[in-house]
């Protein structure tokens, strides 16, 4: 039996390579100064979906919510083996916290026929690990968090091994389910050269419009509209059109989206400056080190 998988991915700033230049004076982060990457554990989620498809067959839809530029992670997903990519973008999504995000995603996922929803355990920009479980609740499906290995799919049920910190647990649940996948689950494959050739022009209607406007600077709006429609239908024929959705299309209740749908608000942001109150330079010789050890014994730090 084949399984339909939906994989939720996120484009994130590479927080591992933050330097001083990426911080504003008020302690906030200049997102634009950071390289945008595919959230690492979302790649593990995609890899698991690809393995399911290879073994059993089925269809993989990748969805991301983000700015128009987030289409980069969708192209990457197509290169790696996804069948279909959807960009969910809308200004009214701005300032969504995890609750609003999970609501918006649930509206998009509900439109798809799925057996398994896969998410990375957490995203490296927020490290909350909340959207997966919240989305499972909104969809009304069973969640299996911290999945390390998929053991069995038998048409009706799934068996998986999950990491429980100081050990593991094997659990079985009826489909559909939502899995959150850890970085230990697998080694994500790299993009396939053949698929990169095939999907190199894959883009969203937004990107098509941008290109057409650049190519035809003097065209009036009606002409542009027609050109965009033509180009989009050509891309769709070759499977290279990344579908683009907004909150109206997914029929989301705006009260639960963006700022109004987000109970948590930022009160204050501070940059982290950790510093010792007083510090001593110790020369790397026996006498200085012996004096330091002596100090530590005097202070009862060393017994």
Partner 1 sequence: MIDVNRKGEVWVFAEQHNGQLEDTPIELMSKARHLADKLGVKLAVVLLGDGIKDLAVKLMHCGADKVYVAENPLLRAYQTNSYAKVMYDLIHKHKPQIVLYGATIAGRDLAPRIASASKAGLTADCTDLQIGDHTTVKDKKVHKNLLFQIRPAFGGNIVATIINHDRWPQMATVREGVMMMPEPDETRKGQIIEEQVQLAEHDLPLEILQEHKRAKKVDLKAARIIVAGGAGVGSKDNFRLVWDLANCLGGAPAATRAAVDLGFIDHDHQVGQTGTTVRPSLYIAVGVSGAIQHQAGMSHSQKIVAINNDPDAPIFGLAHYKILGDLNEVVPMMIKSIREKS
Contact call for residue 263 and partner 1 (CB under 8 A): yes
By CB under 8 A, which span of 66-74, 208-216, 231-239, 264-272 interacts with partner 1?
264-272
Q: Residue 204 Cβ, how far from partner 1 at the closest point, in Å? A: 27
Contact call for residue 201 and partner 1 (CB under 8 A): no
Contact call for residue 29 and partner 1 (CB under 8 A): yes
By CB under 8 A, which span of 42-50, 214-222, 242-250, 269-277 interacts with partner 1?
269-277
Separation of first and last alpha carbons in the chain? 65
By CB under 8 A, which span of 1-9, 87-95, 235-243, 287-295 interacts with partner 1?
287-295
Contact call for residue 13 and partner 1 (CB under 8 A): yes
Contact call for residue 280 and partner 1 (CB under 8 A): yes
Contact call for residue 205 and partner 1 (CB under 8 A): no
The DSSP-derived string for 103-121 is: HHHHHHHTTS--SEEEEES
User: Restricting to residues 140-159, which ones interact with partner 1 according to CB under 8 A?
Assistant: 142-146, 159
Phi, then psi, of 223 in degrees rounded to 5: -65, -45
Q: What is d(CA 113, CA 247) in angstroms, rounded to the nearest whole number?
A: 19
Contact call for residue 167 and partner 1 (CB under 8 A): yes
Contact call for residue 91 and partner 1 (CB under 8 A): no
Contacts of 112 (CB under 8 A, 6+ apart): 4, 6, 61
Residue of the chain from 40, 68, 126, 191 that contacts partner 1 (CB under 8 A): 126
By CB under 8 A, which span of 59-67, 122-130, 190-198, 237-245 interacts with partner 1?
122-130
Q: Are 48 and 71 in contact (CB under 8 A)?
A: no
Contact call for residue 255 and partner 1 (CB under 8 A): no
Contact call for residue 32 and partner 1 (CB under 8 A): no
Q: Residue 202 Cβ, how far from partner 1 at the closest point, in Å? A: 30
Q: Are strands 243-245 and 84-88 parallel, antiparallel or unpaired?
A: parallel
Q: Residue 292 Cβ, how far from partner 1 at the closest point, in Å? A: 5
Q: Which of 187, 116, 177 is nearest to 148 (CA)?
A: 187
Q: Residue 200 Cβ, how far from partner 1 at the closest point, in Å? A: 32
Q: What is d(CA 108, CA 88) in angstroms, rounded to the nearest whole number?
A: 8
Q: Residue 127 Cβ, how far from partner 1 at the closest point, in Å? A: 6
Q: Provide the 10 A C-beta neighbour count for residue 12.
A: 23
Q: Provide the 10 A C-beta neighbour count for residue 90.
A: 20
Q: Residue 147 Cβ, how far from partner 1 at the closest point, in Å? A: 12
The smaller minimum CB distance to partner 1, of residues 229 and 269, is found at 269
Determine the 3-state secondary structure of 9 from DSSP. Answer: strand
Contact call for residue 125 and partner 1 (CB under 8 A): yes
Contact call for residue 303 and partner 1 (CB under 8 A): yes
Q: What is d(CA 61, CA 4) in angstroms, rounded to the nearest whole number?
A: 8
By CB under 8 A, which span of 77-85, 168-176, 202-210, 236-244 interacts with partner 1?
168-176
Q: How many residues bind partner 1 (CB under 8 A)?
A: 80
Q: Which of 114, 111, 157, 109 is nearest to 134 (CA)?
A: 109
Determine the 3-state secondary structure of 54 from DSSP. Answer: helix
Contact call for residue 95 and partner 1 (CB under 8 A): no
Angle formed at CA 50 by CA 47 and CA 54, multiple of 5 degrees: 140
Q: Which long-range contacts (CB under 8 A, 24 or more apart) does 231-234 make?
A: 232/205, 232/208
């Amino acid at each position: 039996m084949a399984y339909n998988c939906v994989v939720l991915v996120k484009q994130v700033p590479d927080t591992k390579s933050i330097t001083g230049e990426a911080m504003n004076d008020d302690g906030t982060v200049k997102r634009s100064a950071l390289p945008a990457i595919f959230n690492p554990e979302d790649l593990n989620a995609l890899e698991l979906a690809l393995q399911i498809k290879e073994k059993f067959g089925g269809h993989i839809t990748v969805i991301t919510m983000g700015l128009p530029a987030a289409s980069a992670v969708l192209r990457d997903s197509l290169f790696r083996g996804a069948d279909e990519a959807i960009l969910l973008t809308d200004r009214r999504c701005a300032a969504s916290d995890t609750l609003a995000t999970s609501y918006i995603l649930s509206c998009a996922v509900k439109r798809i026929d799925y057996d398994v929803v896969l998410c990375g355990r957490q995203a490296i920009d927020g490290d909350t690990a909340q959207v997966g479980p919240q989305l499972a609740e909104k969809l009304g499906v069973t969640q299996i968090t911290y999945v390390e290995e998929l053991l069995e799919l038998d048409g009706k049920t799934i068996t998986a091994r999950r990491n429980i910190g100081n050990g593991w647990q094997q659990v079985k649940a009826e489909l559909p389910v939502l899995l959150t996948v850890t970085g230990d689950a697998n080694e994500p494959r790299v993009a396939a050269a053949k698929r990169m050739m095939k999907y190199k022009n894959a883009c969203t209607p937004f990107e098509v419009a941008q290109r057409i406007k650049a190519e035809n600077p003097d065209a009036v709006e009606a002409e542009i509209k027609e050109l965009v429609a033509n180009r989009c239908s050509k891309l769709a024929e070759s499977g290279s059109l990344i579908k683009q959705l907004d909150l109206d299309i997914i029929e989301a209740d705006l009260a639960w989206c963006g700022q109004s749908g987000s109970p948590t608000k930022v009160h204050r942001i501070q940059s982290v400056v950790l510093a010792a109150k007083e510090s001593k330079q110790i020369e790397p010789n026996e006498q200085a080190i012996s004096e330091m050890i002596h100090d530590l014994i005097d202070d009862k730090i060393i017994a």
